[in-house]
Amino acid sequence: MSGATLDYHNDSISLRVVEALADATDTAPSELDPLYNTVDPEALDRLFQPDSSDDIRVTFEYGDAHVEIRGDGTILVDGTVHDSR
């Protein structure tokens, strides 16, 4: 697929969640427990597409953190916005 580039930060909600968790916990993303131990990252990516409804909302616990993902792409960790499109 020549010339096509996937911008994971903007295109993959699961990777954006990992970045938000890393930011919230002041931990390198590579040092976090895998997201798939808590939630299916592929399911999140399928659910949160650019044409998804803004009414979608997913919440889950990751360790001691409460994570909320909103349909508009906003990611909150413990009530603080850590990533927003």
Residue 4 pLDDT > 70: no
Region 49-63: mean pLDDT is 89
Region 56-67: mean pLDDT is 95
Phi-psi region of 3 (alpha: psi -120 to 50; beta: other; left: phi over 0): left
Region 46-66: mean pLDDT is 90
Could you tell me the residue ranges of all domains in the chain? 8-83
* Position with higher pLDDT, 2 vs 65: 65
Instruction: At 72, list the tokens.
Output: 């508009």
* Contact of 83 with 75, CB cutoff 8 Å: yes
Predicted model pTM: 0.83
Which DSSP letter does residue 15 get? H
Residue 68 pLDDT > 80: yes
Q: How confident is the model at residue 10 (pLDDT cuts 50, 70, 90)?
A: low
DSSP 27-39: --GGGSPPGGGTS
